[in-house]
Each structure stands twice: as structure tokens, then as C-alpha cells.
Amino acid sequence: MKRRDKAQHKFEICLGYPCFSLELSPNARTLTVFSLQRNKEVLGDLVTSATAARLKNGYETPPPGGGTPQHRKSFAAASPAESPVPACSSQQQPLSEVSKQNGSRAGWVLHTLLQLKAPGLLRERKSSTGRVLRRCAAGTDLVEWLMTIGVHSRQQATAMWQVLLEEGVISHVSRDQPFKDKFLLYRFWQDDENGASVAPTEADEAQAQAELKDALAYLTQKAPDAMMRLILRKPTHERTSDDLETIYEELLHIKALSHLSNSVKRELAAVIIFESHQKAGTVLFHQGDEGHSWYIILKGSVNVVIHGKGVVTTLQEGDDFGKLALINDAPRSATIVLRENNCHFLRVDKDNFNRILRDVEANTVRLKEHGRDVLVLEKISPATNAFSHFKYTVMAGTPQKMLEHLLETRLDGRIGQTREEGPSDPFLDDFLLTHIVFMPTHQLVTELARHYRIDSPSQDREFLVACKRRVVHFVHRWVSTIRHPVFEEPSAFAFLEELSGEVSDDNARWEMEDENAKMTQVMDELAQWSATQSVSQKWKLPPGGQPISAFGSDTQRDLRMRPQDDIIFRVYCADHTYCTLRFPLSSNAETVKVSAADKLGLKHDDLILVEVKSSGERVVFKDSDVSVPTALSLNGRIFVSPKEHLEALTCLPDQETPTEGSVGDLELFSTKELAYHMTLFDWSLFCAVHEYELIYHTFGRHHFQKITSNLDVFLRRFNEIQFWVVTEICLTSSVSRRVQLVRKFIKLAA
């Protein structure tokens, strides 16, 4: 505070501490400069310690309770009338209640001293439109005035005024914008259009001078962050090389960027933007919205809210969010709501994200709900990514979250968008083909129904319709990939019927013609499948170990064995007597055992159903095993016997290896002809195998209670061929014929 009395050429210099009153003379001028220098040193120390504190963890906020004991003392000493809290505009965001109070106190001190020491600064001016503006000052003048009281640089002074602006103490006369060291007019909140400013009294002056040191210390402490925010708020094209360096240094301390190289951080410095929101409860974006930006939390916390689940997690300072929509080109997977007042973010917009970050983003993205990981995405290396345009694939997740992620990212809910018909995506197919292992069909349809019936008055129509569309697209894709096993599940059958009714009703309200057509197609397939259910085929397991084959000679028949198809087979007793049974393939070992025991006159107590292999090995069936006859090994036979007689079971004579070969028959056909017919037959067996049978086989048929007969027959076929080749070679005694035979087999295999 420097007051110049022209008549007496006197300077009065009050810094809150050493206060000098001098006559203007060369010596006095030297002394004045010396005093200002001292003041700068003290401020310099404060700046250094504030910066050090900030650099520890990026943006440091004041410790709880805020400020020094002196701050609290001076605030406590002020009466409510002396320390009113200004209203805040969106640019004027209090950092916390305590700092807001400290800020308004510092504002009061500067306002009081400005009026007393530089009375001409705050005065009435005319705007360019001729409007009279009450008691305002130009940004440049305010900066210079602060420098006269010892602030060492214009930049520092600008940042200190920005602190006051963010805390609502000063504001631009007409617009909501940051403080600038330019001819832009600002005024104190007490001086606004409605304010009744009262001239400071002598007591005010004494109080203000007593508090000046604390006020400057407070503003100095806050200045580095405010300066950073000022720089980050600048339009990116206005950033100077010094600005970029300052931002870059700041980015080095941000956890969410720690995996990125320094050159990427330098690129980010040019485009990263500061964004702040004042009120808890503010929605940053909604689930289902298009993704425009990626965010890092600098201060505060946000809730991640998902439709039908509520708040699934809270993200804190240092966390980031909003990446999923950008990396997957998908809608927002959650709504982000401010959990507290005055949150600060760094933001990178989509174009810049794609240009700078998309290819260097972290290899793993983890999503949490209620403290545990629910989805882990991993970057796909470009070399293995020929099938998909997605950069990330799912490595792990809860079934529910994986389905949610699939629906949101792999299936487009917008009208006319048929993402699933684009490049095929392994994750969607993998999910469809394997969900029975981790998400039984009844659970899947319950989840699908929940997603379809999602309803909320707060969500816009487009979001709700998009959810419905995605479910229908998923179901259509599911049915066309999995086919009949979907219909075989009673829960899925019922769900499809209900869904088709709902889609048809919704079509009337919500233009879902495409979806309605898809459901009609699904229902047609379901009807076709139902029609085939009344027809069952018969198969036989010939007694002599010949291949399993269709019963009868109908060449038009379906080569696929179905659960309701009957199979005719023999069950033997220990004494090699037998009965012939006919059961659906889906019957379990328990049923077969009881029926065989009845027919063979065995008592039911403690019986077992056993396979006796041609090697003499005995394998007991579990009561829950299904497709028992087709599961036999080559030349295996089914026996029923009391448990205690297991060791006494022996092979049938016809289970021994054959004694005569079929070389003569083989010579009747050319190798080409043989190869052609064998391949045709093998191909038809292969086509009859459903992908699910591989899963039942791998994870244990008894877990699923589903038949694996087509796979059994296909695997048996391999064994038959292998066994046949070896047998024929061994049974050919003449060396020259053996050589011919081996040649023929080699040609056949080629």
C-alpha cells in the first residue's frame, strides 16, 4: 500500500509488517526499495513453501481447518458483518468453506486498503455501450497496485487476483471469465449494482493493516494453483511456450497419466483443459450419451451411477473416467454425478484423445463396482486384431458386467445401426458360445429381460429405446449363432415368446420395425424347431461293435442326433446274457440301469452300470450321465451288475480284435473314390456336432445334463479309422501286400 502525497513528496509504505513513512530523497528511495525487497523475500518464501506442498501430490488443497493459526484467529476475530461471504458465480468457485472465509477476509482487507491508499482506482466508468459501471478497476491497475505492495511479478499478482475471483470476492463487471492482466473491468462484490458500499473507517484501516500479512500469505499460498487453472483455462491456441512448460510439469505429477511417456505428456499439455463444477449433484454426463471427452479428477470426487444398479463406485482425486466410450466408440456406460461441491477436472476432448492417447493408452482398463473388479479389459495387439476394429477385449469380468459391456459396446441401439453386422467381433461370439459355463441360460434371459424392461422417468426416450434395441439385436444374434439349444431351454423358450409380444407392442409406440422384424424371424425359427420336436428318429448301437448308425435305411434323414431320439442297444449281465433296450438319448444312466435290471431279473439294490472295454478295463457310469450308449469306447459294452461283482465282469468274446481283414474289399475301390466317400461321411458327422457339445464334453456332461452324442460319434469315427488301419495292416501277412496297403493308406490320408 503506497500512498503518495504530492505536496509533501512523502511515501508511506505499509506492508502489514515493517511500515515506513519517509520523505522522498535519493537515500529514502534506496530505503524504500530495500523494504520492498524484504517484503518480496518473505512472499518468495511463502510461494516456495506453497509450491513445494502442491508438488507433493499435484494440486494440494489447504489442510483441514485451512490456513495458518493466524488465519483462523483473524477470521474468528471478525464479526459476521465484517466477514460477509460473497455469493459465487460459476467462475468464482470457493475451494472450501474455510478458504472461502479466508478468501473473503483477504478480499475485505484489500478492498479496504485500496479505497484508502489508491482511492482513484475503484471508480465509476462507462462501458462501451454507455452503461455506467459502479466502482470498478481495470485488471492491469489491480495487478500493478498489488506489485506496489511487494508482489514480485505481474504473473503472481494476476494469480492472486484470480484466487479472489474464484472465491467470489471480485468479478468481471459483465461476463463470467477468469482474471486477466488487461484493460478488463473488475469490481469487488461489495461494490456491485445492488451493494451499498460504506467508506472504511479508521478502525477498519487499522484492522486491515493488521491483517494484511495474513491476507497476502493466504493469496500467495493459493496463487500457484490458481495460476495453473488460469493457464489451463486459456484457449489452447493462446498458450505460450512457458504456459506449456508449466502445464507439462504439472502433468508429471498426475497419477492417471503416470503410464504415459513424457513426449505424450508434452503433447497433452497443449490440449488438456481445466473444467470445474460447483454444485454437488451436477451431472457431468448421462449413461447412453455420446462420449466427447476423457476426464481426470484434480479435486473432489464423483459417483458412477448405472441404470438399475444405482451408485456402483466413487472415483476420487487422481482417478480418471470417461475413457470407455472413447476407446470403444460406444455410448457412455454410466452417469457421472458430482459427489461434492466444487470439483476440478482436467479434460481431454475426443479428437485429441484419439490423436494422442488412443494408441498409447494403458494395456489394462479395470472397472470396479462396490470395491471389487467387475470388468478387466485388455488391449488387443494390432497383429492379433485382424478380426475386430475394437482396441480392447474383455479378459475377465462378472457375467452380468460382461453382458452389460457387450450390449453397450458391441450392439448398436441407434435406429438403422447394425453394428453386429459389421466386422465380426470375437468377444461377442465367445460370449454367445460359452456363456453356459459361467451364466446359465435362465440367468442370461433374466438379465436380458431386465435390460429390455429398463424404465425410468428420468431417462430420455432415446436411451430407453436404445436399450431395448440392443437386447433384440443380441437375441437375434444369439439365436442365429446357437440355434436349437436356445429353444431347448424352457426358460429361453418362454422369454422369446414374451419378448416377441413386448417388441410388437413397443413397435407401435417406438418405431422398432427393424427389431420387430428380427423377432418375427426368431419366432419363425422357433416354430420350425417346435414342428420337428414331434418327430423322433431311431438309432442303433449294433451288437458287434459296428459304427452307431441310423435305424432303417431312410437316406433323407437328419444326421443329427437329438435328445429325444431313441437309441437301441444291449445291456449285458456278468454271465454275458443281455437285454435289448430302447431309450431316448437324453435318458440318464440311472434310468437305463433300473430298466435293464428289471428285464434281466436283477435286484435293484446296489447295482451299477458299467462299461467293460475290450482291454478289460471297467468304467462305472454316474447315475446322472446321459447319452450313455454313444459314450462307449470302441468295442466297449454296457454291463449292469451288483457293485460287489464289478471285478468279476469280463469281456465278451466278440470284443476281442477281429481275426480277418477286409483288404479284399478295399481293393475293389480306387483310393480317390474311397477318400471322397469317407470325407463326405466325416463331414456330415462333423456338421452334426454342435459347438455346445464340446463344452459339455470339456466341462463334464453331468454338469449340464445334455447329450454329447454327435460329438461322441464323431470322436468314435476317428478311433474307428485308426483302429481299422492298424488292424488291416497287422492282419495282412504277405509283406508285398502289406507294402501296397500301407501305400494305399498313405494316399488315402493325403
Ligand X SMILES: Nc1ncnc2c1ncn2[C@@H]1O[C@@H]2COP(=O)(O)O[C@H]2[C@H]1O
Q: Nearer to ligand X by C-beta: 336 or 649?
A: 336
Least Å distance, CB 542 to ligand X, is 57
Which of 485, 396, 502, 397 is closest to 448 using CA atoms?
Answer: 502
Match 445334455 to its residue by C-alpha cell: 706
Beginning with the edge strand found earlier in the chain, give each strand of the sheet holding 10-13 in spatial order. 2-5, 10-13, 20-23
Secondary structure (DSSP) of 476-533: HHHHHHH-HHHHHSHHHHHHHHHHHHHHHHHHHHH--HHHHHHHHHHHHHHHHHHHHH
Q: How far apart are CA 328 and CA 312, in angstroms?
A: 21
Q: Nearer to ligand X by C-beta: 412 or 488?
A: 412
Do 38 and 18 contact (CB within 8 A), yes or no? yes
Q: Is residue 39 involved in binding ligand X (CB under 6 A)?
A: no
Q: Is residue 454 involved in binding ligand X (CB under 6 A)?
A: no
Least Å distance, CB 335 to ligand X, is 8
Least Å distance, CB 467 to ligand X, is 15
- Name which position in 59, 108, 321, 578 contacts ligand X (CB under 6 A): 321
Q: Nearer to ligand X by C-beta: 336 or 486?
A: 336
Least Å distance, CB 306 to ligand X, is 6
Q: Is residue 413 involved in binding ligand X (CB under 6 A)?
A: no
Q: Nearer to ligand X by C-beta: 297 or 486?
A: 297
Least Å distance, CB 327 to ligand X, is 8
Q: Is residue 312 involved in binding ligand X (CB under 6 A)?
A: yes
Q: How far apart are CA 385 and CA 391, in angstroms?
A: 8
Q: Is residue 307 involved in binding ligand X (CB under 6 A)?
A: no
Q: How far apart are CA 598 and CA 579, in angstroms?
A: 10
Stretch of 120-128, 150-158, 201-209, 318-326 contacting ligand X, by CB under 6 A = 318-326
Q: Is residue 318 involved in binding ligand X (CB under 6 A)?
A: no
Q: Is residue 225 involved in binding ligand X (CB under 6 A)?
A: no
Q: Is residue 304 involved in binding ligand X (CB under 6 A)?
A: yes
Least Å distance, CB 371 to ligand X, is 11
Do 58 and 254 contact (CB within 8 A), yes or no? yes
Secondary structure (DSSP) of 648-716: G----GGGSPPSS--HHHHHTS-HHHHHHHHHHHHHHHHHH--HHHHHHHHH-HHHHT---HHHHHHHH
Q: Nearer to ligand X by C-beta: 366 or 599?
A: 366
Query: Which DSSP letter does residue 564 get?
Result: T
Least Å distance, CB 552 to ligand X, is 57
- Site pattern 95..134 for ligand X (x: CB under 6 A): ----------------------------------------
Q: Nearer to ligand X by C-beta: 118 or 336?
A: 336
Least Å distance, CB 350 to ligand X, is 10
Structure-block grid coordinates of residue 62: 489447504
Least Å distance, CB 322 to ligand X, is 4
Q: Is residue 303 involved in binding ligand X (CB under 6 A)?
A: no
Segment 146-151 long-range contacts (CB within 8 Å, at least 24 positions apart): 148/1, 148/2, 149/1, 149/2, 149/14, 149/15, 149/39, 149/212, 149/216, 150/15, 150/36, 150/39, 150/40, 150/43, 150/216, 151/40, 151/43, 151/216
How many residues make contact with ligand X (CB under 6 A)? 18
Least Å distance, CB 325 to ligand X, is 3
Residue 571 pairs in a beta bridge with 579, 638
- Binding to ligand X in span 325-384, by CB under 6 A: 325, 332-334, 336, 367-369, 374
- Binding to ligand X in span 582-601, by CB under 6 A: none
Which of 409, 271, 279 is closest to 333 using CA atoms?
Answer: 409
Report the interface residues with ligand X, using CB under 6 A.
291, 304, 306, 312-313, 321-325, 332-334, 336, 367-369, 374
